[in-house]
Structure 1
Amino acid sequence: MMETVKVLHHYWAYLVLLVLVLATFNAVIKTIGKKEYEPKDFRISLFTLIVSHIQLLIGIVLWFTADYFSELSMGEIMKNSVLRSNVVEHPVAMILAVVLITIGYSKHKKQLSSAGKLKKIAIFYSIALLLVCAKIPWDKVF
């Protein structure tokens, strides 16, 4: 069962990265080009929000069911750079990324102008994308 959850978390990450890149570049390009906010932009940002939250929930399930804590103390985990990255840094960075996506989505809905909506998405989703790219375990991606 947990192996299925790990595989789901691994492959769902591709979808998250794809839609986050799409939403970010869409918002940045439209902001720079001074384009109008369209219903398509709303759907892209909403889909990014949903997909990233699902990935977060899958990751939380993995984190709480991991064997790290039964076998090792937190001090031992923190001394090992690979374990620290997997158990502490990656989850914290991804939670922050999802929080940024959520804040950006929420703030963009409150804006009245197209420029304001797109700018909020561009800023918050870009920072989230940087965080995600910084803490993806790239050695395990392919």
Structure 2
Amino acid sequence: MMDTLQFIHSGWAYLVLIVLVLATFNALFKFFGNREFDAKDFRISLFALITMHIQLLIGLILWFTKGYFDENSMGEIMKNDALRKLVVEHPTTMIIATALVTIGYSKHKKKLVSKPKFKMLAIFYSIALALVLYMIPWSQWF
């Protein structure tokens, strides 16, 4: 069960990354290109939000069921660089990135014209993308 969930979490991460990159660049290009916000833009940003939340949910299930704290104390985890990154830094950063996507999506809905909508999406999704790219365990991906 845990191996399957880990496989899903790792595989879904590719989709999250692709959709988040797409949503971020869509917002940036249309913001600087002075384009109108349409239904396709809404769907892209919504799909980024949904995929991020699903990934976070899978990750939290893994985090709570892996038993990191059964074998190690918090002091031992914090002294071990690899374990600290896996157990503390990765989940915390990804929670922050998901929160940024959620905030950006919520703020863009309150704007009435296209330019501010794209601005909100571009700002929050760009920061979230940077955090995701920084915290992906690249050594495990390749």
TM-score, normalised with respect to structure 2: 0.99
Could you tell me which amino acid in structure 2 is paired with residue 102 of structure 1?
A: T
Could you tell me which amino acid in structure 2 is paired with residue 106 of structure 1?
A: S
Partner of 1:69: 69
Deviation at 1:67, TM superposition (A): 2.4
Distance 1:44 1:30 in 2: 13
Q: Does 1:117 align with 2:117?
A: yes
Distance 2:135 2:55 in 1: 14
3-state SS, counterpart of residue 36 of structure 1? coil
Distance 1:140 1:31 in 2: 35
RMSD: 0.5
Q: Does 1:18 align with 2:18?
A: yes
Q: Does 1:104 align with 2:104?
A: yes
Partner of 1:51: 51
Partner of 1:127: 127
Could you tell me which amino acid in structure 2 is paired with residue 140 of structure 1?
A: Q
Deviation at 1:38, TM superposition (A): 1.0
Structure 2 runs not aligned, ≥5 long: none
Deviation at 1:66, TM superposition (A): 1.2
Counting only pairs closer than 5 Å after superposition, residues 35-50 of structure 1 correspond to structure 2 as: 35-50=35-50
Distance 1:141 1:27 in 2: 27
> Higher mean Cα deviation, 64-73 or 123-132?
64-73
Distance 2:41 2:80 in 1: 42
- Cα-to-partner distance string for 1:33-57 (whole Å, 9 max, x where unaligned): 1111111000000000001000000
Deviation at 1:133, TM superposition (A): 0.5
Count of residue pairs the alignment pairs up: 142
Distance 2:108 2:122 in 1: 10
Distance 2:38 2:141 in 1: 33
Partner of 1:82: 82
Deviating 4+ runs (over 2 angstroms): none
Deviation at 1:28, TM superposition (A): 0.2
Partner of 2:28: 28
Partner of 2:6: 6
